[in-house]
């Protein structure tokens, strides 16, 4: 009684994140957007005009042609690689299609579960994103495409994903909204969403898209840990510190500068935020020094006030486990004397895998600034900087690929949910193909439960299937206390095991996207006399 669903949509998507009250969440933040969409008719050898700004068009159709085998729809970005495509379809189709990417030599089919996941699940396998289920929002999540290369289509050099018809017919059309390459890792709701003067009870639904059954350990179609953080301060805050100066100024505020030191360099990487990573090419045992620094302009610090749990996404290439270690330095200094800075260092942490994917390294917690903040404190004359230090030991010559820094807000509320692994063959209770997890702070119960769909009804859209609870996840941290009449964001970070179930480290590919929905129950509505 009194339970409602909050309107939670990433603001820059203009509402496009919602599908039956669910929103799509990415596992990263950058600013690579779609710039070109073309249909190609194989019989006519002709392209459509650029449909990137179109809210209505029929897929695979060029100038009224009838879609047929080998017709193609291309989705490309001159900005660089992207990891989540969001569509809104109308109509149905009886089509067979492959989703492919260009690897520098040829078009390769995206591997379901290993490189791609689609949401919501449909009745006919991987092509469900193009057929069945009628109207609605659908997404394609892309990871582990390290060989994805730019190529030229219709005169445009870009990173392209394409859908190519291999059989059947198609009547599916885009409706209402443009196709988006989205990269928001938070949901946001306005200060008008929660009434009264009491904290509501909160329930967060999380849905996984379609992948392999059963999922493979290390695939992108399962999640074993979610970390969430609540933040109401800093409308230009970005939880991700990425190593592209221009894009940092776009996703947060002000101008940011990058400094590379030692033997570090920028390397193009389709699996990295903004399509890059910072590579440290060790030639022997090397000391712990700063390898990359991101420094803000004078307007950023005010948006970063708070307490955070710091993670670094990186991976060691070559050598043996434990040959490389990192730490993070957080610095604050006045704009007038850049050398007169105050800083706090994290512990030095050794990496625990070799070439295992984007390893999540927990660097501890930090408060920004390094003291309790008062309302009268000014930050406009201060700069903020983050350095990643790295070293190599044991006389070996590995590389470290540093992808980004993740700041999970913790001072206003943070919680972690984990899938217990009791079956190292199937993954136990991991959030996998078509399943869901519900984090509940007291609306129905005080636990986190995994549910799986009824296979008899799985021909329906994923969100319409009957679901059965099959087990509970572990909860860490207190339930979120969301104050009424206050604007909030809930940040998301998802990860899974990099190999065998239950064996670390956790890795966090950028394409590990999910569907989410936030439900609340107003406590005051249950009190006597609330009418």
pLDDT beyond 70 at 377: no
Question: What average pLDDT does this structure show over 134-140?
Answer: 69
Euclidean distance between CA atoms 490 and 474, whole angstroms: 20
Q: What tens digit of pLDDT does each residue of 11-56 get?
A: 434 334 444 467 888 999 999 999 999 999 999 999 999 999 998 9
Tokens of 486: 């206050």
Euclidean distance between CA atoms 126 and 163, whole angstroms: 11
> Domain ranges in the chain?
30-181, 186-232+414-526, 240-401
Q: What tens digit of pLDDT does each residue of 464-520 get?
A: 455 678 888 999 988 888 999 899 999 999 998 887 777 889 999 999 988 888 888
User: What whole-number percentage of the chain has pLDDT above 70?
Assistant: 81
* DSSP assigned state of 210: B
Q: What tens digit of pLDDT does each residue of 185-195 get?
A: 998 888 888 88
CATH fold group of domain 240-401: Jelly Rolls (2.60.120)
Question: What average pLDDT does this structure show over 114-140?
Answer: 58
Tokens of 439: 């984090």
Half-sphere CA count of 222, side-chain side, radius 13 A: 27
User: 228: buried, middle or exposed (CB in 10 Å: 19+, 13-18, 0-12)?
Assistant: buried
Q: What is the model's pLDDT at position 380?
A: 64
Give CA torsion, residues 450, 456, 462, 463, to 10 deg: -80
In this predicted structure, which of 149-163, 227-241, 287-301, 470-484 has the lowest mean pLDDT?
470-484
pLDDT beyond 80 at 232: yes
Euclidean distance between CA atoms 36 and 19, whole angstroms: 24
Q: What is the model's pLDDT at position 127?
A: 42
Q: What tens digit of pLDDT does each residue of 382-422 get?
A: 899 999 999 999 887 899 999 999 999 999 999 999 988 76
Residue 220: band (very low, low, confident or very high) from pLDDT cuts 50, 70, 90: confident
pLDDT beyond 60 at 122: no
Euclidean distance between the first and the last CA atom of the chain, given in angstroms as a whole number: 13
pLDDT beyond 90 at 157: yes
In this predicted structure, which of 21-35, 60-74, 317-331, 426-440 has the lowest mean pLDDT?
426-440
Q: What is the model's pLDDT at position 97?
A: 82
pTM confidence score: 0.90
Euclidean distance between CA atoms 318 and 71, whole angstroms: 42
- In terms of Cα–Cα distance, which of 394, 398, 395, 312 is closest to 355? 398
* DSSP assigned state of 441: S
Q: What is the model's pLDDT at position 470?
A: 81
- Asked if the domains at 30-181 and 240-401 fall in one CATH topology, the answer is yes
Q: What tens digit of pLDDT does each residue of 288-343 get?
A: 999 999 999 888 888 999 999 999 999 999 999 999 999 999 999 887 655 577 89
Q: Is the dihedral of CA 370, 188, 242, 356 positive or negative?
A: positive
Q: Please state which of the four CATH numbers 2.60.120, 2.70.50, 2.60.40, 1.20.120 is assigned to the domain occupying 30-181.
A: 2.60.120
């Amino acid at each position: 009684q009194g339970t409602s669903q909050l309107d939670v949509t990433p603001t820059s998507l203009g509402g496009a994140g919602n599908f039956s009250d669910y929103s799509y969440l990415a596992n990263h933040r950058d600013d690579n957007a779609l710039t070109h969409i073309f249909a190609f008719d194989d019989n006519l050898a002709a392209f459509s005009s650029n449909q990137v700004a179109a809210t209505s068009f029929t897929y695979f159709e060029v100038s009224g042609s009838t879609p047929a085998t080998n017709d193609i729809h291309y989705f490309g970005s001159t900005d660089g690689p992207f990891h989540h495509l969001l569509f809104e379809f109308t109509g149905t189709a009886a089509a067979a299609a492959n989703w492919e990417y260009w690897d520098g030599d040829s078009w390769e089919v995206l591997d379901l579960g290993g490189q791609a996941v689609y949401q919501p699940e449909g009745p006919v396998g991987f092509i469900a994103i193009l057929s069945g289920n009628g109207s609605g929002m659908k997404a394609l999540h892309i990871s582990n495409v390290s060989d994805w290369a730019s190529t030229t289509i219709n005169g445009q050099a870009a990173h392209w994903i394409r859908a190519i018809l291999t059989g059947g017919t198609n009547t599916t059309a885009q409706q209402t909204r443009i196709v988006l390459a989205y990269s928001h890792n938070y949901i946001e709701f306005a200060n008008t969403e929660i009434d009264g003067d009491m904290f509501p009870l909160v329930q967060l639904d999380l849905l996984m898209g379609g992948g392999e059954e059963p999922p493979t350990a290390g695939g992108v179609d399962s999640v074993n840990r979610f970390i969430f953080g609540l933040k109401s301060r800093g409308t230009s805050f970005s939880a991700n510190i990425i190593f592209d100066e221009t894009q940092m100024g776009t996703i947060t505020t002000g101008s940011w500068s990058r400094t590379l030191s030692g033997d570090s360099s920028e390397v193009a990487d389709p699996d990295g935020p903004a399509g890059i990573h910072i590579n440290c090419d060790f030639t022997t045992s090397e000391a712990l020094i700063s390898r990359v620094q991101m420094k803000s302009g004078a307007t950023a610090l005010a948006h970063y006030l708070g307490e955070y749990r710091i993670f670094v996404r990186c991976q060691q290439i070559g050598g043996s486990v434990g040959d490389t270690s990192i730490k993070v330095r957080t610095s604050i200094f006045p704009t007038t004397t850049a050398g007169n800075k105050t800083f706090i260092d994290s512990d030095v942490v050794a990496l625990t895998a070799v070439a295992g994917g984007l390893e999540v390294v927990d660097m501890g917690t930090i408060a920004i600034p390094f003291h309790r903040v008062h309302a009268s404190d000014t930050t406009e004359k201060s700069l903020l900087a983050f350095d990643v230090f790295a070293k190599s030991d044991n006389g070996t010559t590995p590389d470290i690929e540093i992808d980004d820094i993740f700041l999970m807000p913790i001072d206003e509320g943070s919680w972690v949910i984990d899938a217990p692994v009791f079956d190292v063959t199937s993954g136990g209770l991991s959030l996998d193909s078509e399943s869901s997890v519900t984090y509940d702070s007291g609306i129905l119960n005080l636990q986190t439960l995994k549910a799986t769909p009824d296979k008899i009804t799985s021909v329906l859209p994923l969100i319409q299937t009957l679901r059965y609870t099959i087990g509970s996840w572990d909860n860490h941290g207190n339930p979120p206390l969301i104050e009424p009449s206050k604007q909030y964001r809930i940040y998301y970070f998802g990860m899974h095991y990099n190999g065998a179930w239950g064996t670390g480290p956790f890795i966090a590919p950028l394409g590990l996207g999910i569907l989410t929905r936030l439900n609340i129950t107003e406590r005051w509505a249950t009190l006597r006399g609330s009418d």
